[in-house]
Amino acid sequence: MTTSDRLDATSVDAVAADRRVVRRATVAGAIGSFVEWYDYGIYGLLVTYLAVNIMGSADAGELFLTNVGFLVSFVARPFGSIICGYLGDKIGRKSLLATLLVLISAATAAIGLIPSAEVIGIAAPVLLLLLRVLQGFSAGGEVAGAMSFVGEYAEDRRRNFAMSFIAVGSFVALMFGSAFSAVLITTLGDDTMTSWAWRIPFLLAVPLGYIGFYIRRRLEETPHFVALRERNTVVRNPLKEAFTSKRHLKAIALTIFLPAVNGPGYYLLFVYMPTYLKTSLGEYNFSMLQALTVTAFSLIAIVVCIPLMAKLSDRIGRKPVLAISAVATAVVSYPMFLLITTGEFGLACLGTIVLAIAFSGHAAVVHTVLAEMFPTTVRYSAYSIGFSVSTIIFGGSAPLVMTTLIEATGSKLIPAFASIATAVITLAALGFVRETKGQPLASS
């Protein structure tokens, strides 16, 4: 970082140091994250009911929608990353993030309005996949934008703690979706859920999206981006800037491989887990209500742990916390999945809770590290593209790969091996990352 960058960062941090402003930005970021990831995650939680209505079959339909439905949304993410990242680095973060909430909320609500396959035939799954593409596009632009937004408001010495609430928002969204779905199943019954009530969680995206949009629109642009505008140093082409710099290319490569364990950690442990518990354990399969309850316990555990891990990172550094989390995930994955595959409810809860605690250090810290790798001029673009590619490789294909491997090998422990392998990749990538705790964000 140059001397001018440090001076700019210092002056910007003085603006960011207004605790009240930082708190508003953090709350807005967390609520926006909640809405975005509720909309995105509810699909995985209710894919069984979608299969019956959209595909006309609970078994083959569920397998198709789980695998292909997840995959197409992840394939769309890089397009969202490229377009939204470019716009975010050109025109600013605030308006774009508010627009993304409207886009994903509308797509989610539209899923709840798709007529069944009995009514419109093959058009039903086609419409669903198109709406999943829109969800994926929006999610591709959301993560880096929301993290950059809060990170550019936060104080240097407390940045990870402030940014951690974006991650908390995403997990609370899944927890709310799990709890809400479980309540509906319990009160209305499985037959009613299959008939029409599965639409309710999707339609809830309308009021949630409005609340998130309203809160995001009321905030000002981040002080770091405002400083770029005032100095007239907003780059003309952020993508060209990112891809013609060796420094940025190295950071993008790290953005792909450092979050490797995030795929199994997030998408297998929380989004795909209900489907795994219900369909992949053979004679030990759980009911949908039990599967959602097991997932809810693990979500509570990680929501509690993330802010604690973030605070620890602000005290001892990013790299130690990431390293401990990767090692812990690798060590506990096999024995905890052994507990999960017993089919015993209590043991499954214990297994997922321990996995969630092990993964929490990574979930709390990784996005702060990724945001701190890039200067404000290309932060949204470069961070967004790298992380989306990482998500496709290690996350989007996870349900398809896991299902295929489980069927081919007959082993229910394939997800454990995936967690171990990706934890090793994350640990290896960490060796190329420099410590950024307490340092000001680079400007250019």
Per-residue pLDDT of the chain in tens (444 residues, 90 and over written 9):
554 454 455 445 444 446 777 888 888 888 888 887 887 778 877 877 888 888 876 666 666 666 677 778 878 888 999 999 999 999 988 889 889 989 989 999 999 999 988 899 889 889 999 999 998 899 888 888 999 999 999 999 999 999 999 999 989 988 888 788 888 988 998 889 988 999 999 999 999 888 888 888 888 888 999 999 898 889 989 999 999 999 999 999 999 999 999 887 887 788 778 778 887 787 788 887 888 889 889 999 999 999 999 999 999 999 999 999 999 999 999 999 999 989 899 999 999 999 999 999 999 999 999 999 999 999 999 999 999 889 888 876 666 677 778 778 888 888 889 899 999 999 999 999 999 999 999 877
Helices 159-188 and 288-316, axial angle in degrees (round to 10)? 170
Q: Residue 345 burial by CB count (10 A; 0-12/13-18/19+): exposed, middle or buried?
A: middle
| pLDDT given at position 53 | 84
Question: What are the Cα distances from residue 54, in Å, to 43, 60, 62, 181?
Answer: 12, 12, 10, 18
Distances (CA, A) of 95 to 8, 102, 142, 208, 232: 24, 11, 12, 18, 20
Phi, psi of 234 (to 5 degrees): -65, 125
The model scores a pTM over 0.95: no
pLDDT of residue 3: 41
pLDDT at 4: 45
Query: Are 131 and 269 in contact, with CB atoms under 8 Å apart?
Result: no
Q: Residue length, the chain?
A: 444
Residue 104 in tokens: 């994903």
Residue 364 CA to residue 342 CA, distance in Å, equals 30
* CB distance 225 to 376 below 8 Å: yes
CB 95 within 8 A of CB 383: no
**What is the structure's pLDDT at 60?**
62
DSSP assignment of 174-236 equals HHHHHHHHHHHHHHH-HHHIIIIITHHHHHTHHHHHHHHHHHHHTSPPPHHHHHHHHTT---S
What is the model's pLDDT at position 59? 63
Q: What's residue 7's pLDDT? A: 40
